[in-house]
Amino acid sequence: MRRQTATGGRNPAGSSRALRLDPLSLPIRYDAHDTRADGGVRQIELHRERVILHRAVAGMRMAIKVRVSDFRGVGCRGLDDGRMLMLVHRDPSLSVPLCISSDNDEIERAWALWSEIFALPQLPDDTPREASQRRRRHSVMSRRRPRFLMRRRTGALLNAPRSYAGEREIIARH
């Protein structure tokens, strides 16, 4: 397997240089930042059908193999100085960075290419959105009868209360 790093030389993970991987030269092995791993670095192997994450936690070395089909898709996240393209997993600790750049055109091209190579959907940007307005519980429509009940007659009480206004009391009182 050929070893590909971010920009040709061996750059430490988390350096200020942009991360650019070539999706047409898979398999790829590179280092990425991981806060929970020993040394803050994990090694990632990208293949067309699987991703292997190598890291050590508390001295225990581990390799996690994840099928590409288990990932949700290829997503884009905004950073302070650019955007990051990543392979998004349901478990955020298994998400993998693919490209970091400040050039929007480059990100868009890479996004489409990685999505096509892995046959995964392009997930929308993770921009914070305003919460939608809550539905009103006591709206005008909630008191109206549903359409299928409008065709039926309304029911009548079986024993309607009778009113004897203006009549004399039959029960004798002493």
Domain spans of the chain, in order of start: 23-118
pLDDT digits (tens, 9 = 90+) for 71-92: 999 998 887 778 888 899 998 8
Average pLDDT, the chain: 79
Higher pLDDT residue, 168 or 126? 168
CA atoms within 13 A on the CB side of 36: 10
Closest listed residue to residue 84, CA positions, set 125, 122, 48, 46: 125
Full-model pTM: 0.60
Is the previous residue joined to 121 through a cis bond, with omega within 30 degrees of 0? no
Residue of 31 and 127 predicted with greater confidence: 31
pLDDT of amino acid 7:
44
DSSP state of 155: P
- pLDDT band, residue 8 (cuts 50/70/90): very low
**Quick check: 143 pLDDT over 70?**
no
Check: CATH 3.40.30 for 23-118? no
